[in-house]
Amino acid sequence: MAFEMALIRRAAAVEVLLRRLLDDRALSGEIARPDRLMAAMRHGVLNGGKRLRPFLVMESAALFSADGEAALRVAAALECVHCYSLIHDDLPAMDDDDLRRGQPTVHKAFDEATAILAGDALLTLAFDIIADEATMLPAERRAALVLALARAAGAGGMVGGQKLDLEAEQAPPDEAGIIRLQAMKTGALIRFACEAGALVAGAPAEDRERLAEFGSAIGLAFQLADDLLDLTADAGQMGKATGKDAAAGKATLVALHGANWARSQLHGLVDQAHELLAPYGEQAALLKEAATFVATRNN
C-alpha cells in the first residue's frame, strides 16, 4: 500500500512538471513551438501511464539524499524518452496500434507525420531538460546523465533492441538472443532509471553499479511479467487488453520455457533485486516494493 501511494504521489509530481515543460509558450530564448506539434506531444505524454520509470529515478535518488528537484527533472526527461518510444512503437511501420493507455494513439489522434515528429521532439526535449541549467546539478553530473541516457536509449540500448525485435519476426532468436533483445529494448531504460538516482546524487561508482544491477534485474522481471500478461490475455484471461505477441507466436522466454518457469524466474529476480538493496536497509523499502510490483503487476 505504501508503494502504491508513493507511486501515485510521484506520478502526480512528474505530471505537474511535464505539463509545464510541454506548455505551448516558448521556452525562454526559443522560437515559438508549433501548436499542433506541442498538442501531439502532450497527447503522447499526458495520457495516464504508471510513471514507473520516473518513480525509480526519484526513489533511487532519495536513497542517496539527492536534490529532489533535480531528480524530478531527470525523471520527467526519462518519461519523455519512454513516451516517444511508445508513440513510435505504435506507428503503422512498427506495431500499428490504435490505442495506447486506453486512448487513441498519437498517429490516430493526429496523423503519422505528426506522430513521428512528436516522438522526435520528445526525445530531444529529454536531453534539453537534463542539460539545462535549471537542472541544478554540477555540469559534469548533467553530462554524465546525458551520456548514460543517450546510451540507454540509442542503438546499443532501446532503439537497438527494437530493431532486433523487428528482425526477430523473420528469424526467431535463441534464448541468449531473446535475453539480449529484451535487456536492450525494455531493460536499458529501467536500468538507467535506477542508475540515474545515484548519478544525480554523485554517489560512489560502487553504488551506481549496484543500482544499475538492481535496474537490470527488475528490467528483466518487467519483461517476463509483460510476456506472462500477454499470454494470459491471449488465453482470454485477465491481463493485457491484447495478447498480440503471444498470438503472433513471438519468441519470448515464456514461449520457450512456459508460464510456471517464468513465475519461478520472477521469484528469483525479485530476491536478487532485494539482496542488491540490502546494504541500504529500511531506506530502500519502497524500491524493494517496486521490484515486487514489477514482477506481479497486472497491467
What are the residues whose beta carbons fall under 8 Å from the beta carbon of 206, sequence distance 6 or more? Answer: none
Interface residue with ligand GRG, options 85, 135, 182, 252 (CB under 6 A): 85
- Reference 21, options 49, 53, 46, 4; nearest CA is 46
What are the residues whose beta carbons fall under 8 Å from the beta carbon of 170, sequence distance 6 or more? Answer: none
Rounded Cα distance, 37 and 138, in Å: 32
**Is 49 one of the binding residues for ligand GRG (CB under 6 A)?**
yes
Please identify, using beta-carbon distances, which residue of 135 and 182 lies nearer to ligand GRG. 182
From the list 54-62, 110-118, 124-132, 156-164, the region that binds ligand GRG by CB under 6 A is: 156-164
Beta bridge mates, 100: 103
Query: What distance lies between CA 60 and its chain's CA centroid?
Result: 15
**Is 15 one of the binding residues for ligand GRG (CB under 6 A)?**
no
- Reference 101, options 109, 113, 92; nearest CA is 109
**Is 252 one of the binding residues for ligand GRG (CB under 6 A)?**
no
Alpha carbons within 13 angstroms on the beta-carbon side of residue 225 total 22
Interface residue with ligand GRG, options 21, 43, 55, 89 (CB under 6 A): 89
Rounded Cα distance, 26 and 217, in Å: 40
Are 76 and 21 a contacting pair, CB within 8 Å?
yes
From the list 20-28, 34-42, 82-90, 168-176, the region that binds ligand GRG by CB under 6 A is: 82-90
Rounded Cα distance, 268 and 295, in Å: 10
**Is 52 one of the binding residues for ligand GRG (CB under 6 A)?**
yes
Site string for ligand GRG, 159-178 (x = CB under 6 A): x--x----------------
- Joined grid coordinates for residue 251: 519468441
Rounded Cα distance, 68 and 65, in Å: 8
| Least distance to ligand GRG, CB of residue 278, Å | 26
- Reference 37, options 84, 101, 78; nearest CA is 84
Alpha carbons within 13 angstroms on the beta-carbon side of residue 48 total 8
| Least distance to ligand GRG, CB of residue 163, Å | 8
| Least distance to ligand GRG, CB of residue 291, Å | 14
**Is 185 one of the binding residues for ligand GRG (CB under 6 A)?**
yes
**Is 50 one of the binding residues for ligand GRG (CB under 6 A)?**
yes
Please identify, using beta-carbon distances, which residue of 186 and 207 lies nearer to ligand GRG. 186
209-228 positions binding ligand GRG, by CB under 6 A? 226
Residue for cell digits 510456471?
A: 260
Please identify, using beta-carbon distances, which residue of 283 and 296 lies nearer to ligand GRG. 296
DSSP state of 46: S
Interface residue with ligand GRG, options 21, 58, 158, 291 (CB under 6 A): 158
**Is 44 one of the binding residues for ligand GRG (CB under 6 A)?**
no
Please identify, using beta-carbon distances, which residue of 24 and 167 lies nearer to ligand GRG. 167
Interface residue with ligand GRG, options 88, 107, 210, 288 (CB under 6 A): 88
| Residues in touch with ligand GRG (CB under 6 A) | 49-50, 52, 82, 85-86, 88-89, 94, 101, 158-159, 162, 185-186, 226
